[in-house]
Amino acid sequence: MGARFAPHWGLVRSTVNGLMSIRVRLTLLYASLLAIAMLVFSIATLSVLNWTLRRQVDASLQKAAEDIQAEGVISAMPTVGGDRPHVSELIREFSMLQVNSLDAPGLFVQIWLYDPSIERLYLHDFSWNLLGVGYSGALDPLALGVKAEVRRDCLVNGHHLRVFTRPLALNGQVWGYIQVATSLNTVDAAIDRLLRIMVIGGAVTLFMALALGDYLTRRALRPIDVIAQTARQITAADDLSRRIPYDGPPDELGQLTRIFNKTLERLERLFNVQRRFVADVSHEMRTPLTIIRGNVDLMRRYGYDEEAMEAIESEARRMSRLVDDLLLLAKADAGRLTLNKEVVSLDTLVLEVYNQARMFSEEVRVELGKLDQAYVLGDADRLKQLLLNLVTNGVKYTSEGGRVTLSLARENGWAYVRVEDTGIGIPTEDLPHIFTPFYRVDHARSRAKGGTGLGLSIVRWIVEAHNGRITVESEVGQGSVFTVALPLVPKSTAQDAKRTTQANLQAVHER
């Protein structure tokens, strides 16, 4: 039966949790914890009070039994039927107070003696006062016959009594018992009164805790409601420019609001970049596709044309470069583009790029400036791609008769590669955006030069992947200077790499 209804109970519980808000659940949780704490405190208080009052009652009963025994009950044992006046007067002193009612406070005394002739206990006539209330039986029948002191609550004629029983023994033989009792009405009334006060006070306190907890929880969770409302507005309006207003203390909710606003800001920036990126890619792909389709239609009408075929091949190569650059940046952003880092002789790499760049253009002169020896830890192929992109960019935007200078210097643990050109320059307002994909200062001129708008974006990624930095200085009509700073490897590591390179070259020559 339990297994059959278990899934249904889980469904009910999940439905209830879904209908209750966090505020309600927190309020109920706080109230439940308070109720448990109050219940534990009440039980502990009542237990301690009951234990304390009963200890006091037991102490008074034990003291009365000791006084009766000390006054000569034991000495009366040999003459079982005898009577000692002073003992009788002592018992009467303890008992006369309770002749009329067992409910009234005071002491009730019984002395039970053993009669060998009948081999049983009988009630000593000192206990006559209990007959005044119509009771002649033992106050605690179960304690008679026990060889140890007994303290127990007993119900005598419907009255709640605390009974203390002490055995009377001589030479190890029990010959009688003293039973002293008192009413527990006062104790019961005190505990009952305290219990009522705790129940009423606990109910009032719990109600006030629910109300106060609901108010405090509602106030504390108000920023979360604002966050949820703002999120709904953003979703409904597709507006990532909205921010959550918050003027409270810098607590956890303040931190959550600040993080949420930063997340919105980043999402807005990424969304704008993605939107611009898609638009730029579409635009870049549309131009070569239009040219290719136009030349294909032309050849279909008039037959094969060499000039049209060259235009098709040129645009196809340009699209291929664009796709390769896009794939490179996509892999880099996804973290799937790995670098094969090793100690690289940067001066050798700069010299190779210089020799290769001299063939780029006959109108623009490529020169080699200062060349210091420097070793860096990096991927030689990517570093070469970085330098080629910078030199190609300089040659592309330098007019006929201009020059591009490539140099390498080392300073304070850094290697500085400078690519300086005498080209058209970059406006100041465009400098912060030149490393953004597809960003061009002059779109028409850039497309005419055959660029894809991704070269400097790739340059920046390669620099950052090598823990370096890149800066640019430019003035319109005067040219631009790109400076790449890369951290040098320790001298000992560079020397080991140099010896390894020389050994490899020598092995190649010997072959």
Residue 166 lies in a domain: yes
Judgement on whether residues 96 and 184 belong to the same structural domain of the protein: yes
State the chain's maximal CA–CA distance in angstroms.
155
Query: What's the domain range around 60?
Result: 47-190
The partner residues of 101 in beta bridges, in order of sequence, read none
Pairwise CA distance, residues 63 & 144, whole Å: 19
H or E element in which residue 419 lies: strand 414-421
Residue 25 lies in a domain: no
Judgement on whether residues 385 and 309 belong to the same structural domain of the protein: no
Judgement on whether residues 355 and 482 belong to the same structural domain of the protein: yes
Q: For the chain, 511 residues long, give each residue's pLDDT as a single digit of tens.
A: 454 544 444 544 544 444 467 778 888 888 888 889 889 998 999 999 999 998 999 988 888 888 777 765 444 444 444 443 344 444 444 443 333 344 445 678 888 877 666 555 656 554 444 544 556 778 888 888 888 899 999 988 778 889 999 988 777 778 888 888 888 888 888 899 999 998 998 889 888 888 888 888 787 777 777 777 877 887 777 777 777 777 767 777 778 778 888 888 888 877 777 777 777 677 667 777 888 888 888 888 888 888 888 888 888 887 887 777 777 777 776 666 778 888 888 999 999 999 888 887 778 888 998 888 889 998 888 899 889 889 988 888 888 888 999 999 988 889 999 999 988 888 888 888 888 776 666 544 444 455 556 778 888 888 988 999 999 998 888 889 999 999 998 766 666 666 665 655 555 455 5
Judgement on whether residues 314 and 428 belong to the same structural domain of the protein: no
Residue 207 lies in a domain: no
Residue 480 lies in a domain: yes
Judgement on whether residues 156 and 284 belong to the same structural domain of the protein: no
Tell me whether residue 429 is exposed, middle or buried, using C-beta atoms within 10 angstroms of its C-beta: 0 to 12, 13 to 18, 19 or more.
exposed
- For residue 272, what is the domain's CATH number? 1.10.287.130
- For residue 169, what is the domain's CATH number? 3.30.450.20
- For residue 449, what is the domain's CATH number? 3.30.565.10
Give the end of a domain, one of 332, 357, 380. 332
Judgement on whether residues 125 and 96 belong to the same structural domain of the protein: yes
Judgement on whether residues 349 and 383 belong to the same structural domain of the protein: yes
Residue 65 lies in a domain: yes
Alpha-helical regions (H) of 69-169: 85-95
Pairing of the two strands 403-411 and 108-115: unpaired
Residues 6+ positions from 253 with CB-CB distance below 8 Å:
220, 223, 224, 246
Tell me whether residue 90 is exposed, middle or buried, using C-beta atoms within 10 angstroms of its C-beta: 0 to 12, 13 to 18, 19 or more.
buried
Pairwise CA distance, residues 406 & 420, whole Å: 7
Number of structural domains in the chain: 3
Terminal-residue alpha carbon distance, the chain: 87
Nearest CA-CA partner of 186 in 9, 56, 92: 56
Q: Write out the two tokens for 299.
A: 């050849």
Phi, psi dihedrals of residue 400, rounded to the nearest 5°:
-60, 135
pTM equals 0.48
DSSP code of 409?
E
Q: Write out the two tokens for 102.
A: 């067992």
Alpha-helical regions (H) of 221-345: 222-237, 252-302, 306-334
Residue 34 lies in a domain: no
Judgement on whether residues 345 and 486 belong to the same structural domain of the protein: yes
Residue 295 lies in a domain: yes
Give the end of a domain, one of 190, 215, 234. 190
DSSP code of 130?
G
Judgement on whether residues 360 and 382 belong to the same structural domain of the protein: yes
Judgement on whether residues 358 and 265 belong to the same structural domain of the protein: no
Residue 218 lies in a domain: no
The partner residues of 151 in beta bridges, in order of sequence, read 164
Give the end of a domain, one of 139, 169, 190. 190
Judgement on whether residues 343 and 325 belong to the same structural domain of the protein: no
Judgement on whether residues 408 and 494 belong to the same structural domain of the protein: yes
User: Please, what is the angle between helix 252-302 and helix 222-237, to 10°?
Assistant: 10
**Is 147:167 a contact under the CB 8 Å cutoff?**
yes
